[in-house]
């Protein structure tokens, strides 16, 4: 079967690889139908995630069909269409029992395209199938639920819930990529009075505007700090960092009001200066989190009820035969205007 393998920084190859096989009774083998590329896949390709061994199949976000199940799998049968989340859960370790699946101690957590072969392949082995997969309701298309695999729960859990966004809040989202936009579309569930989205890319700000941002600000054109202070009357209640570089984190610390929250969502590859000499006196809370996926059932219900529509986040669709082009389009978002890129694998 065909798969996209990582061989080192800047080196990915489409190759014929052996078919995956059941290794544990709790495994399933799935046929990937629809997948998407993540900013984290690009981080890996830049060499920022050294644990990924050469030869690993990339990808951790897909909708698939179960082809085979191990003897211990009870909830799924061949033919079931399933959401394969980025985070796997053994279901029984102390962190899984606390719904902190991202911290699973038993071989779960973020493993696809990281510690085991991922989902940019025609087939994949899914560990802990019963406690990791979700059935797709028959009335929904793959594209309706595809972003439940990672970006929607990441934006919601790590940004909105962790940042404790509540009714009436003013929220700044720094970064208008897929994660920032996911925080934007899920912020509405908590009733903020104002959501301000900040990015250097006008195309992405335009998408943010279409998805309901009240204000979009481009720091290359205006003084974002002054603008946010004047819009909010003294700073936002919650600043969400959705880029993962030092400048954007520091900007969040300058936009938040005393007593406010900074929710870091971005994947950082280098150290950030924490200005405690300014922050210590301002009662600010800073949070970090890897997505757990515990809100997938809630977000799925909202999508079924047509209260949440993630489909506008998809800007491009490619067949799997054009997967290399899809990576390039996603990696060059400023020129291609890409947000999420959908791969139709089968
Ligand atoms: Zn991802
Ligand atoms: Zn676990």
Q: Tell me the CA–centroid distance for residue 166 and ligand 1, in Å.
A: 26
Report CA(127)–ligand 2 centroid distance (Å). 11
Ligand nearest to the CA of 105: 2
Average pLDDT in the chain: 97
Ligand 2 centroid–CA 24 distance in Å is 15
63: left (phi over 0), alpha (psi -120 to 50) or beta: beta
Which protein residues have a CB closer than 5 Å to ligand 1 (ion)?
38, 40, 86, 150
How far lies 300's CA from each of 53, 278, 306, 309, 316, in Å? 33, 41, 10, 10, 22
Q: Looking at residue 265, what is its pLDDT?
A: 97
Q: Of the ligands numbered here, which is closest to the C-alpha atom of 62? A: 1
> CA–CA separation, 82 vs 31, rounded Å?
10
Per-residue pLDDT tens for 302-333? Answer: 999 999 999 999 999 999 999 999 999 999 99
Q: Is the pLDDT at 115 greater than 90, yes or no?
A: yes
Q: Give the model's pLDDT for residue 29.
A: 98
pLDDT the model gives residue 205: 97
Q: Using the mean position of ligand 2's atoms as its centre, give its distance from the Cα of residue 105 in Å.
A: 5
Ligand approaching nearest to the C-alpha of 108: 2
Residue 192's alpha-carbon distances to 108, 173, 255, in angstroms, are: 34, 12, 16
CA of 148 to the centre of ligand 2 (A): 20
Ligand 2 centroid distance, CA of 26 (Å): 13
The H or E element that residue 170 is part of is strand 170-174
What integer pLDDT is reported at residue 269 of this predicted model?
83
- Looking at all shown ligands, the one closest to residue 113's CA atom is 1
Res 89 pLDDT > 90 = yes
- Four-point Cα dihedral 33, 210, 179, 288, nearest 10: -150
Q: Over the stretch 131-166, which tens digit does the pLDDT of each residue have?
A: 999 999 999 999 999 999 999 999 999 999 999 999
- Using left for φ > 0, alpha for ψ between -120 and 50, and beta otherwise, residue 177 falls in beta
pTM: 0.96
Q: 17: closest CA among 27, 7, 28?
A: 7
Nearest Cα to Cα of residue 81 among 143, 146, 135: 135
Q: Considering only the C-alpha atoms of the chain, give the largest distance between any 2 of them, rounded to a whole number of Å.
A: 61
In the chain, the percentage of residues whose pLDDT exceeds 70 is 100
CA 128 / ligand 2 centre spacing (Å)? 9
The 10s digit of each residue's pLDDT in 177-208 is 999 999 999 999 999 999 999 999 999 999 99
In the reported structure, the alpha carbon of residue 25 is separated from the centroid of ligand 2 by a whole-number distance in angstroms of 16
Ligand 2 center to 207 CA (angstroms): 37
Helical ranges in the chain per DSSP H:
39-45, 94-97, 129-132, 142-145, 151-153, 178-187, 202-210, 224-232, 246-255, 276-279, 296-304, 323-331, 333-336
Q: How far away, in angstroms, is 196 Cα from ligand 2 center?
A: 36
User: Per-residue pLDDT averaged across 288-297, rounded?
Assistant: 97
Q: Rounded to the nearest whole angstrom, what is the distance from the C-alpha of residue 345 to the centroid of ligand 2? A: 29
Ligand sitting nearest the alpha carbon of 177? 1
**Rounded to the nearest whole angstrom, what is the distance from the C-alpha of residue 11 to the centroid of ligand 1?**
19
pLDDT tens, position by position, 21-53:
999 999 999 999 999 999 999 999 999 899 999
């Amino acid at each position: 079967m065909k798969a996209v393998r990582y061989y080192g920084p800047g080196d990915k190859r489409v190759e014929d690889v052996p078919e995956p096989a059941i290794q544990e009774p709790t495994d399933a083998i799935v046929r990937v139908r629809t997948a998407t590329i993540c900013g984290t896949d690009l981080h890996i390709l830049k060499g920022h995630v050294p644990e990924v061994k050469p030869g690993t199949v990339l990808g951790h976000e897909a909708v698939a069909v179960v082809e085979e199940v191990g003897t211990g799998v009870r909830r799924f049968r061949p033919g079931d269409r399933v959401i394969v989340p980025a985070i796997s859960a053994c279901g029984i370790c102390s962190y899984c029992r606390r719904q902190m699946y991202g911290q699973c101690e038993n071989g779960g957590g973020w493993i696809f395209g990281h510690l085991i072969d991922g989902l940019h392949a025609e087939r994949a082995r899914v560990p802990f199938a019963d406690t990791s997969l979700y059935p797709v309701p028959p009335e929904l298309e793959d594209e309706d639920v595809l972003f439940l695999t990672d970006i929607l729960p990441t934006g919601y859990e790590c940004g909105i819930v962790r940042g404790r966004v509540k009714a009436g809040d003013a929220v700044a989202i720094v970064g208008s990529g897929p994660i920032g936009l996911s925080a934007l579309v899920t912020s509405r569930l908590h009733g903020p009075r104002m959501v301000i989205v900040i990015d250097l890319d006008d195309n992405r700000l335009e998408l943010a505007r279409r998805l309901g941002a009240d204000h979009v600000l481009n720091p290359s054109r205006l003084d974002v700090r002054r603008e946010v202070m004047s819009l909010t009357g003294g700073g936002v209640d919650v600043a969400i960092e959705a880029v993962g570089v030092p400048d954007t984190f520091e900007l969040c610390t300058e936009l938040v009001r005393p007593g406010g929250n900074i929710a870091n969502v971005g994947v950082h590859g280098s150290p950030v200066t924490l200005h405690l000499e300014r922050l210590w006196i301002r009662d600010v809370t800073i949070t970090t989190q890897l997505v757990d996926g515990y809100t997938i059932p809630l977000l799925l219900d909202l999508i079924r009820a047509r209260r949440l529509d993630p489909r506008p986040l998809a800007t491009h669709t490619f067949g799997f035969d054009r997967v290399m082009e899809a990576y390039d389009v996603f990696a060059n978002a400023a020129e291609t205007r890409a947000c999420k890129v959908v791969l139709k694998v089968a």
